[in-house]
Amino acid sequence: MIDRRSLLKLAGVAPAVAALPRTTLAQQDAERPDYTLRIAPGLVELSPDHIVSTTLYNGQFPGPLIRIQEGKRFVVDVYNDTDVPELVHWHGQMIPSDVDGASEEGTPFIAPHEMRRIAFTPKPAGFRFVHTHVPAYGDLNRGTYTGQAAPVYIEPAKSPGAYDSEVFLVLKEFEPVFSQGGDMPQHALVGTPLPALQQMGNQLDQQFRGPKGYEVGSELFSINGKQLGHGEPIRVKPGDRVLFHILNASAGEIRSLALPGHVFHVVALDGNPVPIPADVPVLWLGTAERISAIVDMNHPGVWVMGDLAEDDRKHGMGIVVEYAGRIGGKPTAGVIKDVVMLGGYQDVEFDFVADNPGLTLFHCHQQLHMDFGFMALLRYT
């Protein structure tokens, strides 16, 4: 794990500075960014047999955890070391449109091989993340199909919880391909389909006969950039209370996650504390969703925290949890989220407070759906 101080130390390294005269150096020092984010091509070793080439933040997947302070101005230099324009989106934060990272809202692209300095005041506190917001359309080497994602933790004024350690997990698939495979798992999306919507869907199916459109699938899954069995295990001791911060950084996949013999005590959704913490055996995460859950480590042994689907675990979606010394569907009032999963032909009702002026992009977080038009722009009047 990397603490904020060592991140700052790393971020402060700027080789070009050494050649500057002393006065300039002093000025440069005063304007030193709090963080440097480099977008560049690189390799991820998911396992010895699967080394993938993609675009990364600071040379690794996931990008390093960025820990920042709520309410304290944060200056970032973003270097685009690729040959295409890029955009960095600070998902889940209430910050101005020109730095939020969606071009539709007015954030400028960072041209190839250029740097853009951005500054904002992080809020609200909690588990957020950062990812690219460029459209990919038919190019599966762009957008969220790449490895451009990093967890962001905004430290609150007061520390929230009683736990022994924090573990950040980023779920991600690699080497996506177009497929006409089956529908996504929807068992998590308990709800009642609306007959009117279902009827409309059936009519469209009648109208447009023939094969359905393409979806994007993958056969390489990972947690923290490693396929199951190839990364470092999560090491715990009996009696530990471990706070897991889990992010589904997928471009389009819904994930389940279970840790046999243990229960997830869900304390936050999308980084926002839940009014009534719930104990659940399985977590379901839609694209871009985050869950923070405390697990009481009271069942010693060696366990796999992984997808319920055996096929997905075989393709890597899991991580080993090792003890030291061995080796939806309910009322959800008050829950604050920035992503909501919705089953086929269902509806959802939500309130939002319009307190972040500027253009706001409201969209499906599945890259394919967003790229081909599943989005809307909200304008404050």
The answer to whether residues 258 and 179 touch, using CB atoms and an 8 Å cutoff, is no
Only one of the segments 43-51, 84-92, 208-216, 324-332 lies at the binding site for Cu ion (rule: CB under 5 A); that segment is: 84-92
Tell me how far, at minimum, the Cβ of 101 lies from Cu ion, in Å: 9
User: Which amino acid belongs to residue 292?
Assistant: S
Beta pairing partners, 319: 305
Q: Which residue's CB is nearer to Cu ion, number 280 or number 364?
A: 364
Q: Which residue's CB is nearer to Cu ion, number 230 or number 369?
A: 369
The answer to whether residues 61 and 129 touch, using CB atoms and an 8 Å cutoff, is no
User: Which amino acid belongs to residue 230?
Assistant: H
Only one of the segments 141-149, 239-247, 286-294, 324-332 lies at the binding site for Cu ion (rule: CB under 5 A); that segment is: 286-294
The answer to whether residues 62 and 37 touch, using CB atoms and an 8 Å cutoff, is no
The answer to whether residues 282 and 242 touch, using CB atoms and an 8 Å cutoff, is no
User: DSSP assignment of 186-254, as one string?
Assistant: -TT--S---HHHHHHHHHHHHHS-SSPPPEEE-SEEEETTB-TTTSPPEEE-TT-EEEEEEEE--SS--
Only one of the segments 1-9, 87-95, 142-150, 347-355 lies at the binding site for Cu ion (rule: CB under 5 A); that segment is: 87-95
Burial (CB < 10 A; 0-12, 13-18, 19+), residue 104, is middle
Q: Which residue's CB is nearer to Cu ion, number 252 or number 316?
A: 252
Tell me how far, at minimum, the Cβ of 89 lies from Cu ion, in Å: 6
Tell me how far, at minimum, the Cβ of 64 lies from Cu ion, in Å: 18
Tell me how far, at minimum, the Cβ of 343 lies from Cu ion, in Å: 21
Among 36, 55, 76, 91, binds Cu ion (CB under 5 A): 91
Q: Which residue's CB is nearer to Cu ion, number 143 or number 231?
A: 143
Tell me how far, at minimum, the Cβ of 259 lies from Cu ion, in Å: 26
Tokens of 62: 């996931």
Neighbours of 33 (CB within 10 A): 19
Tokens of 253: 């996949």
Q: Within the chain, how many helices (H) and strands (E) appear?
A: 6, 23
Tell me how far, at minimum, the Cβ of 379 lies from Cu ion, in Å: 20
Size of the site for Cu ion (CB under 5 A): 2
Q: Which H or E run includes 171? A: strand 165-174
Q: Which residue is nearest to Cu ion (CB)?
A: 91
Only one of the segments 90-98, 141-149, 166-174, 301-309 lies at the binding site for Cu ion (rule: CB under 5 A); that segment is: 90-98
Only one of the segments 64-72, 83-91, 222-230, 250-258 lies at the binding site for Cu ion (rule: CB under 5 A); that segment is: 83-91
With binding defined as CB under 5 A, does residue 152 bind Cu ion? no
The answer to whether residues 54 and 147 touch, using CB atoms and an 8 Å cutoff, is yes
Tokens of 203: 């009519």
Tell me how far, at minimum, the Cβ of 61 lies from Cu ion, in Å: 17
Q: Which residue's CB is nearer to Cu ion, number 50 or number 365?
A: 365
Distance CA 306, CA 228 (A): 8
Q: Which residue has the tokens 């509806």?
A: 347
Only one of the segments 177-185, 218-226, 284-292, 314-322 lies at the binding site for Cu ion (rule: CB under 5 A); that segment is: 284-292
Tell me how far, at minimum, the Cβ of 160 lies from Cu ion, in Å: 23
Q: Which residue's CB is nearer to Cu ion, number 227 or number 360?
A: 360
Q: Which residue's CB is nearer to Cu ion, number 197 or number 377?
A: 377
Tell me how far, at minimum, the Cβ of 256 lies from Cu ion, in Å: 20
Q: Is 20 left (phi over 0), alpha (psi -120 to 50) or beta?
A: beta
With binding defined as CB under 5 A, does residue 290 bind Cu ion? no
Tokens of 94: 């209430």
For the chain, state the CA radius of gyration.
Answer: 21
Q: Which H or E run includes 46? A: strand 35-47
With binding defined as CB under 5 A, does residue 288 bind Cu ion? yes
Tokens of 56: 């990364």
Residues that bind Cu ion (CB under 5 A): 91, 288
